[in-house]
Amino acid sequence: MPHDVTVHPTVADVQASSHEATSSREQFRGLIWLVSAAFFMQALDSTIVNTAVPGIANALDVTPLSMRTALTSYVLTLAIFIPTSPWLCDRFGTRRVFGGAIVVFALGSLLCGIAQSLPQLVAARVMQGLGGAALMPVGRYVLVRSIDRREFVSAMTTVATFGLMGSVLGPLLGGALVEYTSWRVIFLINVPVSILGVWLNSREMPVYRLDRAHPFDIFGFILFGGASALYLMAAETAGDGHWKNVFGYVAMATTLGLIYVWHSRRTEHPVSDLKLLRVRSVWVSLAGNLFTRLGVSGMFLLLVLFLQIGCGWSPLWAGLMMVPQAIGSICIKPFVHRLLAYFGYRRLLLVNTIAISVVLCCFAFLSPSTPMWAIGLFVFVYGSFMSLQYTSMNTLAYVDLDVSHASMASSMASTAQYLSMSFGIALASLLMAAFIGDRTPERYIWAFRYSVVILGMVTLAASWVFSRLRETRPHETGR
């Protein structure tokens, strides 16, 4: 049955409503499944194009690396429009926003499936991003409001497992569909899944909203979105070698960013409340997310290009190599809460980030003669470490916050995640383009090796960020 809760704009009412809404995982089992399904669908579409990149590029008569626009346009749209989700929830309620997001996402998927050119595909991916922008932050926010704090990490582990499965099964499913059917089916399968999601949303999604929502920060939204888009345009332009334009985009983006910082300090309800960065766990979580994902987000694209173009593998077999990551992710999940409780966020994230950077660098030892089982083992170990990293980073942002800040924290965490993913894909593509040269299979192999080493060094920078944390364990925190 639906769980309807109206939240009034006073601290006392918010706290009282939170107390009433807090329940066990059993009571909100359906909600957890709904949010997990949304995370799975969104993660699937963030990665399903990866394995299909060579096939789609051939069908649309473009180069494989030019397909990065279809990847980055989706995640950048997520990053830009995610900050609107807290205001939309306050104004229209979580159930309406979540249901509307599923419908828009389904429409964007349909348009992707019938696209006839790369610009049309990019435009449809933007529409997908418009719908997906509300799925993750609203889902996280509702879980924070509904699930008992003692069970929150466990609930997020369940949701994150489905998200990781989607991100790993995406390349496998994409490879299989491209090889045996058509790349268009990759997007069209979202339509029936979305219909089921709308039905579940009407039954399981609680309604959290304010009777009087504050005015939306339109000026701040334009500043933030403009800065994000210009930074990505700079990365895209760098891949084409137009460095004069790159410096211009970076200068304009930085200017807009500084204006937003000034604006947010003078606005009562900014689109992203930078005052939350005064909380150590929040800024460490966001900055750590940025550097970690900047290094790892383009890894699947690089690995697919290495296997399909460099080693001559089929799309299906290249996608199969992503399955070990899902297995590694699932195997480590039951131990995440215990590891956090024993080591604490600081030590666990510090050591795990260093381990991830080492594993990334070790991918440089792969070659066309490397046995399939050895590549699978690399991917399995990588998946285990990344699963531990994602779950820890995703829960860190909330451990020291009051529940009244949960919506904004969820929005900022999701924005940082997808903004860094778009930059990470652009960075990986830029590195590959810089090292490929004559685009022979041998050059793809060498470009892959140099690129993963550099990305490993970028990821290592996140370890310094996590070293700024205090010793904190999940059971010691309060919001």
Tens of pLDDT, residue by residue over 118-150, are: 999 999 999 988 888 888 778 877 887 777 766
Residue 242 pLDDT level (bands cut at 50, 70, 90):
low
Give the domain CATH number at 356: 1.20.1250.20
169-194 mean pLDDT: 83
Q: What is the pTM of this model?
A: 0.73
Task: For residues 239 and 369, give the distance between their C-alpha atoms in angstroms, rounded to a whole number.
Answer: 30
Q: Quick one: average pLDDT of 264-293?
A: 84
Q: Which residues contact 127 (CB under 8 A, 6 or more apart)?
A: 104, 107, 108, 111
The answer to whether 51 touches 178, Cβ cutoff 8 Å, is: yes
Q: Is residue 233 part of a domain?
A: no
pLDDT-derived band at 240 (thresholds 50, 70, 90) equals low
Average pLDDT over residues 329-346: 84
pLDDT for 456: 93
Q: Does 222 fall in a domain? A: no
Average pLDDT, the chain: 81
For residue 368, tell me if it sits in a domain.
yes
If pLDDT is split at 50, 70 and 90, which confidence band does 419 have? confident
Its domain, for residue 329, covers 11-216+271-476
Per-residue confidence (pLDDT) for residue 392, from 0 to 100: 86
Which residue from 75, 78, 83 is spatially nearest to 423, judged by alpha carbons? Answer: 75
The rounded distance, in Å, linking the Cα atoms of 303 and 54 is 12
Domain count, the chain: 1
Confidence at residue 122, expressed as pLDDT on a 0 to 100 scale: 92
Q: Is 245 within a domain? A: no
pLDDT digits (tens, 9 = 90+) for 76-131: 888 788 778 778 888 888 889 999 999 999 999 999 999 999 999 999 999 988 88
- Specify if 37 maps to a domain: yes
Query: What are residue 368's phi and psi, to 5 degrees?
Result: -60, -20
Within-domain flag for 472: yes
- Asked whether residue 349 is domain-assigned, the answer is yes
CA dist 374 and 364 (Å) reads: 13
Q: Tell whether 465 is covered by a domain.
A: yes
Which residue is listed with tokens 């300090």?
Answer: 265
